Amino acid sequence: MSSGIGFAVDGHIARVTLDRPKALNSINAEMDLALFEAWTEINNNPDIWVAVLSATGEKAFCAGADVSGTGGGAGRRMALGGGLTGVGGPLLTLRKPLVAAVQGYAIGGGFELAMCADIIVAADTTKFGIPETKVGIIGEAGIMHRAIRQLPHHIALAMILTGDRIDVHQAERYGLVNEVVPYEKLDETATLWAERIASASPLAVQAAKDAVLSRAGWPLETALATRYEPIEAYEYSADRLEGRKAFAEKRNAVWTGR
């Protein structure tokens, strides 16, 4: 794949694959643009309800930005990861749930890309790292801001200040990943998570994600007092009516995402 990115849709699940294994799936300008296009399609296509981000090869999920040259290219300014990380350009908000299937090295921008996911499934080979201070290349601090929010305070600071990595079992203990599996079961397990999410009302899932993340850094009183337009709009959707009908008829709902 010339872009270094694979994109496919299987039912209601979109599959995005980092595909530069010889470069440890590091992200160059062409991949950034392809990722931006993938996230945009996922956001805009009502028949896509959940996405899975994975990578080719057992050695690495992603080693971060390709130091030989990164950025949006073609005159387009965007953040790393097609805009998903918010590092180096405008942040792209993915409205659909994202499951990351991570293996091997997830370091620097690759670690941050994984932390952008809503669910992280990790192979037992995975190692997470923030190497910036160790190698003296610190720039935008996006990965550090995410790490301090997703890991215990002292664990995150130890990783940031030393550049040392943590293995997947430490990551699981700290609540960073949802499930650890053998590498051979990584894709299967990520798909099962995606299918579980897709079995719920897609509009309700998207509204819930929007509400939770849009007020995650705000005081509880503010979050409780906020009106959430996607939740209000859901009340008048066909899926809301189908949910009520299915509950009354004691059957599984048939969602349309409309």
Catalytic residues: 112, 132
Are 207 and 228 within 8 A, CB to CB?
A: yes
Helix extents (H) in 60-152: 109-115, 132-135, 142-150
Q: What Rg, from alpha-carbon coordinates, does the chain have?
A: 19
Residue with tokens 């030393």: 162
Q: Of the candidates 179, 239, 233, which has an alpha carbon nearest to the alpha carbon of residue 210?
A: 233
- The residues, any chain, with a CB within 8 Å of residue 202's CB and separated by 6 or more, are 12, 49, 50, 96, 239, 255, 257
